[in-house]
Amino acid sequence: MSTSRVLRGGIVGGGNGAFIGAVHRIAAELDGEARVIAGALSSNPERARESAEQWHLQRGYDSFDAMAKAEAARDDGIDFVIVATPNNMHLPVTRAFLDAGIHVICDKPMASSLAEAQEMADLVNRNGKLFALTHTYTGYPMVREAKAMVAAGELGEIRKVMVEYNQDWLMEPLEKAGNKQAEWRTDPARAGISCCVGDIGTHAHNLVEYITGQTVTQICADLSAFVDGRPLDDDANMLIRLSGGGKGTLVCSQIACGEENALNIRVYGSKGGVEWHQQEPNTLLFKPAGAPWQRRRTAASAYSERAGASTRTPSGHPEGYLEAFANVYRDFLADVQRVVAGDAPQRLYPGADEGVRGLSFVEASVRSSAAGANWVEL
Amino acid sequence: MSTSRVLRGGIVGGGNGAFIGAVHRIAAELDGEARVIAGALSSNPERARESAEQWHLQRGYDSFDAMAKAEAARDDGIDFVIVATPNNMHLPVTRAFLDAGIHVICDKPMASSLAEAQEMADLVNRNGKLFALTHTYTGYPMVREAKAMVAAGELGEIRKVMVEYNQDWLMEPLEKAGNKQAEWRTDPARAGISCCVGDIGTHAHNLVEYITGQTVTQICADLSAFVDGRPLDDDANMLIRLSGGGKGTLVCSQIACGEENALNIRVYGSKGGVEWHQQEPNTLLFKPAGAPWQRRRTAASAYSERAGASTRTPSGHPEGYLEAFANVYRDFLADVQRVVAGDAPQRLYPGADEGVRGLSFVEASVRSSAAGANWVEL
Amino acid sequence: MSTSRVLRGGIVGGGNGAFIGAVHRIAAELDGEARVIAGALSSNPERARESAEQWHLQRGYDSFDAMAKAEAARDDGIDFVIVATPNNMHLPVTRAFLDAGIHVICDKPMASSLAEAQEMADLVNRNGKLFALTHTYTGYPMVREAKAMVAAGELGEIRKVMVEYNQDWLMEPLEKAGNKQAEWRTDPARAGISCCVGDIGTHAHNLVEYITGQTVTQICADLSAFVDGRPLDDDANMLIRLSGGGKGTLVCSQIACGEENALNIRVYGSKGGVEWHQQEPNTLLFKPAGAPWQRRRTAASAYSERAGASTRTPSGHPEGYLEAFANVYRDFLADVQRVVAGDAPQRLYPGADEGVRGLSFVEASVRSSAAGANWVEL
Amino acid sequence: MSTSRVLRGGIVGGGNGAFIGAVHRIAAELDGEARVIAGALSSNPERARESAEQWHLQRGYDSFDAMAKAEAARDDGIDFVIVATPNNMHLPVTRAFLDAGIHVICDKPMASSLAEAQEMADLVNRNGKLFALTHTYTGYPMVREAKAMVAAGELGEIRKVMVEYNQDWLMEPLEKAGNKQAEWRTDPARAGISCCVGDIGTHAHNLVEYITGQTVTQICADLSAFVDGRPLDDDANMLIRLSGGGKGTLVCSQIACGEENALNIRVYGSKGGVEWHQQEPNTLLFKPAGAPWQRRRTAASAYSERAGASTRTPSGHPEGYLEAFANVYRDFLADVQRVVAGDAPQRLYPGADEGVRGLSFVEASVRSSAAGANWVEL
């Protein structure tokens, strides 16, 4: 909580019916430090207007271009914009707002191709404005605790990583049954070269790099489309190697029957291990060598400063996905306040580098699989 | 999401440092249907001003009386007020705002004594304005699912209930070490006749009645103060009997070493059972007679309309305490909108009746224990 | 493993179809230190013969009296006898074998009434032979670890105990559908004054006293028969008080829909707590004050000598009910070997004292409930 | 339970100090259908004698050759022999007893090389006597339930398998600290071409094939030796492909800090999924498409005939590793009885085929890894 003014936010995309738009708004506003007041919520003008009304926005726009220009010209214009469009629009929208001098917080993956992501990173690096990528899972207190533990050497040298992100929502051909989400995600024209790896494999990849503080340097990826006639992957099994010498597996699936949103990670080092499950996110299992497992808990027994600063409720009052999302926003908004106040930003959130690495991972996994599931460098 | 205007809320109490004030604000604003814009955040004028600034309130007041009068007089006055003061102030604050024609949503327990609670209920019943009591745990989707299952007869006749609410934060004499929360909760002058039962036993009691749709009619309560010199209970073990013929146990403790906020309930009927744990709230175990246990899940497999209407994220994206709190607000704010629009309220949230029953439960438990832990009627 | 000779065991009761007979045989023979070679497996001569053949016994008898006399007269007669009859036969069988100079290991509860149990204890105390009562659950390594932790002061002063033993096998009137087990257990003429408390409540009571090293001194018991027309209890909720000042709840049920054999215990002290679940018996949760929970594990991280001496497999190879049963036998057989060798026994297993306390508990719970669920002394 | 005579067993290896010898004896004798009466427990004559005495064997031998000949010559000679030696002795011991007309039950892996395994399979196939391989984990009731569910089509077409077998006992260089087990397992001269994959990866491989009823046809294996100077693998990550078109991962490790004996498997099909954990073996999670997860349980809700026939205790009385081992013996001994009675054996246990496939898997994984972790055929 600070005494500085409430920041003004805008949003592009995410209108009526898109789950992720509402999540961005809630996350941005949760701590009372920002309000989303302007938006171009849809490329369809009527839907954009309707959504703006429903969201009680002060200023609705028909196009993101018009919005960027108009907001930049106002004394009370927005401080930052949320990019919640389909992936192929991330680059043009980001460019428009950065050019207009407005900070950007963008949904992941950063772009629909590696080339686009690199172009976007160049843009961000040239432009002085802030850029955040909402890799939500880095916002969970116990993920931050795990990262802090690795950084502090509590696990020793990292030897083994097992990460998995399994869902089942595409186990039937929903794209042929009128499901809009399934339609675009399985359509190469709109989703790019990957469905499952691009959508959720990227989260698993990011989580490995975030917690270990290392990069994935090589992968061997076996991608599949189990549902008949699907042109993009709905499942992947990968071997991975890390920059520090560790090895492991990365699994993602959208056809794993019975799984909801099962992002799980285990990291084993020479001195200890950790285990975390996104669906029960307030517990981190710590496995010190030669001693009983410990159950570290949000608020109760998360010992790192970062984890401690990422909670809003006392111990035993569970926090979830929205709070994790809001933690990414909290760091981003604190940086916006710093810049507003003339101070240097701290950049404690994923940005353009993570975005490029994510797309590089997607590109490499498709390349590996196409070559018969052989090893490729990232 | 509706297209009606954003409601204006005020808050009394809950300022700087009080966890519950921030929780109320987040819960009230989470869905974008209300903004907390006015407040009398502390009885200390300076602290009230500071807190109002930190919260970015449009209008800060030094006293709740002044606030009630001033807001009632404005065209853009608040639609509702949040009462987040210590218990002994619930009655005067509620009276002031109801008299001023402003809806009230009040923290639990409703008052510091049964007599006061009854007076407050009379007041609410005479006055036409809305009154909600924030029994948070009734806001969890899977608690609502459990209630719906009982109501639909899926459990058959209720035979057995085991409810428990265990914490450990008072296992040492923190009240002698400068902990403000511990000081007032263990002080009869401020907390009334009970510490543990009043604070958390009431939640357990409310949860039993909410899920079963029955009332607790008799209890046999063995209250203890395990920490030396503590004048109020920090632990209680109770036998309970329900209006429908079921029996069970109700346990609450603030000295249960290692427990954070362990509110757990099991209900057994003649055809099935359910089990729910607040610390992992998105799972409801269903135990049908003669068949494997089922794991019902928020968003994925909660089948009742009420549970379905109480989620904000897709399956596997965990929701927690703040979302449950916001679900109570969602129902309350929808009623405020209905009244603003001239429609009849639906009252889908705990109110004055639940408040009186809660204080009746506290009074009976203390009475039972004082008589040697004998049976008393509620 | 020792180099002394293999002990010779006999069994009375437990023949064809009775689950518990086979369990006794397996447990007695598991470590290769004893063989069950003689038996009077049924009061029905034909069934006794058939069962003896099926069990490959060397010597089958028609009556326990004949067996006691004949075995006592042989040079290679049995060293000990297992009493696995219905409760009302425990006293005469035990008497016959003790009188014949043969050690006895007897199923629980020790007798069908408190008076009978006291008579049996007198008998045991007068007679010099060994007597063990198979309170199986004391054989689990992690139960022994818990006891050792309490004894070592790791939990501090015991403040709170929650024990429960829930099943559902009597939730329908099986006794009217031809189920033999249900028939005798719900028949006062054969089962005595209690069904549920006598059968499984006694295990819960014994577990509390075993782990805490204290006695239950007072109880307030609310017994029910939820199934229509059942003359004995099928469910009980109790408040308990311990000799050391701790308090708690003891719950047992045979109508708790969906529960198999859910014996669970939580003990909270001034410095730590423990939690154990019989259905996942190789884990003991330790909850030290102000630190994360620890997961102690059979073989891997059970630190007491007693727990260490109670395992047969390396860590992670789960041990279960039969091994726990065999651990009680292991201690009993070691004592038999000691006595054979002329050494003093160590009596590291429940005996006549525990048996009397168990029946005293049953009698008190029925007395309390009959008086309106008031407090009674044990 | 049958009325046929108690079978006579012998054992080679497994003497004093070797955990697995005692496990074989317990498993063989658990149901009272066999007794281990003869043995050549060690290649060291003195240790062989000592062990035979400790085990109370009727006949101890100094060499397996002498034992095979002597037992074959007796009227009351052994019916079967247990081979519990180091892997390199499996072939000569098996040959000696098969040649002597004695049935063989042998520890896994079947041999120390693929060539040896094939020779042994030829031997078994030419000889008419029974041969069983103790892949223990196939003895768990819920593993059998899973296999039955797949066979009955409850999972539909198998799409994805995730299997893992993680331990940590070799995470330090115990082989340099005098640990005998670690010494031979990490010594190519005694252990063959693999440590971790040969020892536990084979179990994971066998479990996949057992449950799915398919064969692993291709693997891509990344083997590591994380402990400095260790000549054989202590960790492996593999991609696998199944004969039916499914894909997945197989992970095994002996350096996964904090893991005891964590054999876990998840199988996902087009209609349902199953999940099983060896450390809590009495639960099988069933994940039917579009419905809540079910918790199937040993004895309580295992619906297949095979699972039902594999339990000894009522529901909620946990069974573990020894009972699973005994289930493999139960099927083998029933076959021995059948052969004794002149009936045809049913061979419901792993045999020479499974042995050859296991060694083929080890050989392929080493070959794959040596080639840079490329795909190889099995």
pLDDT for position D45: 85
pLDDT for position C41: 92
In a domain, A318, yes or no: no
End-to-end CA distance of chain B: 41
On average, the pLDDT of chain A sits at: 95
pLDDT at C19 exceeding the cut of 90: no
| Length of chain B counted residue by residue | 378
Chain B contact present for C162, CB below 8 A = yes
In a domain, C318, yes or no: no
Tell me: do D96 and D213 sit in the same domain.
no
3-state helix, strand, coil split of chain C in percent (to 5) is 40, 25, 40
Chain D contact present for B283, CB below 8 A = no
Chain D contact present for A111, CB below 8 A = no
Chain D contact present for A201, CB below 8 A = no
How close D282 gets to chain A, by Cα (Å)?
A: 20
Q: Which residue of C has its CA nearest to B294?
A: C258
How close C315 gets to chain B, by Cα (Å)?
A: 26
How close C142 gets to chain A, by Cα (Å)?
A: 13
Query: Residue D148 — φ and ψ, nearest 5°?
Result: -65, -35
- Segment C301-340, tens digit of pLDDT: 999 999 999 999 999 999 999 999 999 999 999 999 999 9
- Segment B82-96, tens digit of pLDDT: 999 988 899 999 999
Tell me: do A149 and A291 sit in the same domain.
yes
Close Cβ partners of C296 (under 8 Å, ≥ 6 residues apart):
A292, C142, C145, C283, C284, C285, C286, C302, C303
In a domain, A1, yes or no: no
Q: Given a contact as 3+ CB pairs under 8 Å, which chains touch A? A: B, C, D
Tell me: do A161 and A280 sit in the same domain.
yes
User: Hey, are the CB atoms on C257 and B251 less than 8 Å from each other?
Assistant: no
Instruction: State the CATH number of the domain containing residue B88.
Output: 3.40.50.720
Q: Which residues of A touch D241 (CB under 8 A)?
A: 222
pLDDT for position D3: 56
- Segment A27-77, tens digit of pLDDT: 999 999 999 999 999 888 888 888 899 899 999 999 999 999 999 999 999
Tell me: do B110 and B129 sit in the same domain.
yes
Tell me: do B230 and B124 sit in the same domain.
no
Q: Quick check: D82 and D28 in contact, CB under 8 A? A: yes
CA D219 to CA D376: how far, in whole Å? 6
How close D166 gets to chain B, by Cα (Å)?
A: 27
Chain A contact present for C229, CB below 8 A = no
Chain B contact present for A73, CB below 8 A = no
Q: Given a contact as 3+ CB pairs under 8 Å, which chains touch C? A: A, B, D
Tell me: do D193 and D294 sit in the same domain.
yes
Chain A contact present for D272, CB below 8 A = yes
Tell me: do B224 and B87 sit in the same domain.
no
Close Cβ partners of D269 (under 8 Å, ≥ 6 residues apart):
A257, D150, D155, D156, D157, D158, D159
Tell me the residue range of the domain where D180 lies.
Answer: 141-315+358-377
Residue C3 confidence class, pLDDT cut points 50, 70, 90:
low
Write out the two tokens for C353. 């004292």
pLDDT for position A1: 41
Tell me: do C79 and C181 sit in the same domain.
no
Q: Which residues of B touch D291 (CB under 8 A)?
A: 294, 301
In a domain, B303, yes or no: yes
CA D290 to CA A257: how far, in whole Å? 8
How close A25 gets to chain B, by Cα (Å)?
A: 9
On average, the pLDDT of chain C sits at: 95
Tell me: do C148 and C232 sit in the same domain.
yes
pLDDT for position D1: 42
Query: Mean pLDDT over residues C251-258, rounded?
Result: 98
pLDDT for position C180: 86
Ranking A279-283, A308-312, D253-257, D266-270 by mean pLDDT, the lowest is A308-312
Query: Mean pLDDT over residues B181-186, rounded?
Result: 90
Count up the domains in chain D and report the number.
Answer: 2
Q: Which residues of B touch C253 (CB under 8 A)?
A: 160, 268
Q: Which residues of A touch B299 (CB under 8 A)?
A: 260
pLDDT for position B206: 98
pLDDT for position D17: 67
Instruction: State the CATH number of the domain containing residue B226.
Output: 3.30.360.10
Query: Mean pLDDT over residues C370-378, rounded?
Result: 96
Tell me: do C126 and C145 sit in the same domain.
no
Query: Mean pLDDT over residues D184-193, rounded?
Result: 90
Query: Mean pLDDT over residues C287-294, rounded?
Result: 98
User: CA dihedral in degrees (D171, D175, D176, D178; nearest 10)?
Assistant: 120
User: Hey, are the CB atoms on C287 and B259 less than 8 Å from each other?
Assistant: yes
Query: Which residue ranges of chain A lie beneath pLDDT 50?
Result: 1-2
- Please report the DSSP string for C123-161 in residue order: HHHHS-S-EEE--GGGGSHHHHHHHHHHHTTTT-SEEEE
Write out the two tokens for D267. 């199988």
pLDDT for position A16: 66
Q: Which residues of C touch D19 (CB under 8 A)?
A: 313-314
pLDDT at B185 exceeding the cut of 50: yes
CA B226 to CA A33: how far, in whole Å? 43
In a domain, B319, yes or no: no
What ranges make up the beta strands (E) of chain B? 7-13, 34-40, 59-60, 80-84, 103-106, 131-133, 158-166, 216-224, 235-242, 247-253, 262-269, 272-277, 283-288, 293-297, 375-377
Close Cβ partners of A245 (under 8 Å, ≥ 6 residues apart):
A157, A158, A159
pLDDT for position D312: 94
Beta-strand relationship, A80-84 and A103-106? parallel
Chain B contact present for A95, CB below 8 A = no
CA B268 to CA A98: how far, in whole Å? 59
Chain C contact present for B160, CB below 8 A = yes
CA C235 to CA C225: how far, in whole Å? 6
Chain D contact present for A159, CB below 8 A = yes
Chain A contact present for B179, CB below 8 A = no
pLDDT for position D86: 86
In a domain, D1, yes or no: no
Of D286, D292, D300, the CB nearest to B296: D292
Chain D contact present for A32, CB below 8 A = no
- Segment C221-243, tens digit of pLDDT: 999 999 999 999 999 999 999 99
In a domain, B22, yes or no: yes
In a domain, A102, yes or no: yes
Q: Quick check: C308 and C302 in contact, CB under 8 A? A: yes
Chain B contact present for D294, CB below 8 A = yes
Single out the residue of C31, C92, C82 nearest to residue C55, CA to CA. Answer: C82
> Quick check: bond before D188 cis, omega within 30?
no
User: Hey, are the CB atoms on D235 and A160 less than 8 Å from each other?
Assistant: yes
- Segment D280-323, tens digit of pLDDT: 999 999 999 999 999 999 999 999 999 999 999 999 999 999 99
pLDDT for position C1: 42
Report the residue of A41, A257, A322 to disrupt the B interface, i.e. the one with the largest count of B CBs within 10 Å: A322
Q: Which residues of A touch B1 (CB under 8 A)?
A: 22, 54-55
Beta-strand relationship, C216-224 and A80-84? unpaired
On average, the pLDDT of chain B sits at: 95
pLDDT for position B16: 66
Beta-strand relationship, C293-297 and C283-288? antiparallel
How close D257 gets to chain A, by Cα (Å)?
A: 6
How close C179 gets to chain B, by Cα (Å)?
A: 16
Report how many Cβ contacts below 8 Å link chain B to chain D: 25
Query: Mean pLDDT over residues D107-133, rounded?
Result: 95
User: Hey, are the CB atoms on B372 and C373 less than 8 Å from each other?
Assistant: no
Report how many Cβ contacts below 8 Å link chain A to chain B: 112
Calculate what percentage of chain B has a pLDDT beyond 70: 98
pTM of the model: 0.97
Chain A contact present for D303, CB below 8 A = no
Tell me: do C151 and C231 sit in the same domain.
yes
Tell me: do B157 and B190 sit in the same domain.
yes
Residue C17 confidence class, pLDDT cut points 50, 70, 90:
low
Chain B contact present for D296, CB below 8 A = yes
